Structure 1
């Protein structure tokens, strides 16, 4: 029986297996095209294109572009991918290796990508080591790509006031305000959208800059 079990993994069956080998074209920090097949690296989640991280001094840097560049460097030459499932976009979800090196493991170990714990614990030790050494995304404040994707979704029900939690407390940002566009909402951290200022204030948020 086919069971839909997640957003990423839609098809998983012992009868399904596919190997692809060839020179890789890197799409982004966790996606390749090999032998005409679009491949999503298993067990990792790389920063999104244009995503900014913070270094140890609090400076912004383009960790999305860095992830793409590192995957390009690591995947030079022939790449072999072993997949057993497809995601909802039809991509082959696979472990890929180049020069005998697991690309997913290498990306996480460098701090160029996160372990995607929702789908696998395989790379969590590598992530823990990278975090302890403050490599890559772990040099400063790091936002999980899935939180960024969730924050980039359209405001629910037209409620466009952003309730953000920072070191300054619970602040809400109105459209057009100075920090509105760069403020991301991560519901998993308790952040949320509001429809009115009254609603935000009643929930304990205060207006940013006020």
Structure 2
């Protein structure tokens, strides 16, 4: 009996690292719950290295007010509709139980696609992984970078509007 228990304990210890690693990856259908936050199963994932306009933030194109958050969220929804997401998570959950993650649908990086569309930018304070992709969007003059668009960088907007987001 003791020998069986020891063997079971040994197997559990061998499996523990694999189980911990599996807990850091979530896969499944995803939905946008913010312009740069998705839900995969019960896990909220903030796209790592990506920053998009906040819900209360508005932009302008020429003299017209533009709901850039709505468009960013709709763009993210469109990206997520192309298949199941696999997110590799990092760090501990924040007070809202969200974790940062790099998410892919097939071989496409969700964050890169959102930035490429011009509806988010590289959050270089966190990582510069997407700086070149943001340069592509700026050069193509799409989304937030379109001619006549004016907006505050989300991190600057949050600094001026504490509590006005998430």
TM-score tier after normalising by the smaller chain length: 0.7 to 0.9
Work out the CA distance in 2 between the residues paired with 1:114 and 1:69.
16
TM-score (normalised: structure 2): 0.77
Aligned-pair CA distance for 1:153? 2.2
Q: Deviations over 1:99-153 (max 9, x none)?
A: 4210000011111101101011110011112112221011222211111111112
2:18 match:
none
What secondary structure does 1:86 align onto? coil
Residues 74-85 of structure 1 correspond to what in structure 2 (within 5 A)?
A: 74-76=79-81, 77-85=83-91
Q: Deviations over 1:156-199 (max 9, x none)?
A: xxxxxxxxxxxxxxxxxxxxxxxxxxxxxxxxxxxxxxxxxxxx
Q: Do residues 25 (structure 1) and 45 (structure 2) align?
A: no
Mark the runs of 5 or more structure 1 residues left unpaired by the alignment: 1-14, 155-210
Q: Alpha carbon RMSD of aligned pairs, Å?
A: 1.9
Aligned-pair CA distance for 1:91? 1.4
What secondary structure does 2:44 align onto? strand
Tell me which stretches of 4 or more aligned residues in structure 1 moved more than 4 Å.
Answer: none
Mark the runs of 5 or more structure 2 residues left unpaired by the alignment: 1-20
1:118 match:
125
Q: Do residues 42 (structure 1) and 48 (structure 2) align?
A: yes
Q: Deviations over 1:55-87 (max 9, x none)?
A: 2x3422110001110111101131110112235
2:3 match:
none
TM-score (normalised: structure 1): 0.61
Bigger helix share: 2
C-alpha contact (below 8 Å) 1:50/1:62 kept by paired residues: no
1:11 match:
none
Q: 1:126 to 1:58 in 2, by over 3 A?
A: farther
Alignment size in residue pairs? 139
Larger RCO (alpha carbons 8 Å, 6+ apart): 2
Aligned-pair CA distance for 1:17? 6.6
